[in-house]
Structure 1
Amino acid sequence: MSSFNDYVKFLTQQAVIRMDQPKEERKSKREERRAEKQSFPTQAFGIIPMGLSLFWKSRKSNKK
């Protein structure tokens, strides 16, 4: 039961910290996280999707 209390305490502390931050600061942190985050295909399959898309685009341009 103490672990649940610790978890609730942690969540409460995080909520208070977040509420004390100015809106602009929260927004800038969110934008930084989004910029650092990789796209889903890259995250799930590595560089293979990018390689396939480059191959497919070059193949289409060579046909014309």
Structure 2
Amino acid sequence: MHISFNDYVKYLTQQITSYLDTPAGEKREQRVKNKVKPPVYSNRWFGVLPFAFKVARKKTN
């Protein structure tokens, strides 16, 4: 797959103009929605083992 420079510039221009056209309220809502949720405390305290046990338990059920 080969993308030309003109196609890339066209795509980039479309993305920038769509961002600039969106109202500030929608941008704010999008930022809040895209924030990363904090990790689960069991994984944070004990590493990946609780997650591995949970996945293994789901596979057996």
TM-score by length of 2: 0.56
Structure 2: where are the runs of 5+ without partners? 48-61
* Distance apart, 1:51 and its partner CA: 1.5
Aligned length: 44
Distance 1:38 1:4 in 2: 37
| Secondary structure in 1 matching 2:4 | helix
TM-score in terms of structure 1 length:
0.53
Residue in structure 1 matched with residue 46 of structure 2 by the alignment = 51
Percentage identity across paired residues of the two chains = 35
> Which whole-Å CA distance do the structure 2 matches of 1:50 and 1:16 have between them?
44
User: Pairwise mapping of residues 1-64 of structure 1 onto structure 2 (< 5 A)?
Assistant: 3-34=4-35, 37-38=36-37, 48-51=43-46
Structure 1 residue 3 displacement after superposition: 1.2
Alignment partner, residue 61 of structure 1:
none
Change in Cα spacing, 1:8 to 1:48, as seen in structure 2 (3 Å) is same
**Cα drift, residue 38 of structure 1:** 4.8
**1:4-56: CA deviations, max 9, x gaps?**
1111100000011011100010011011000xx255xx5xxxx754315xxxx
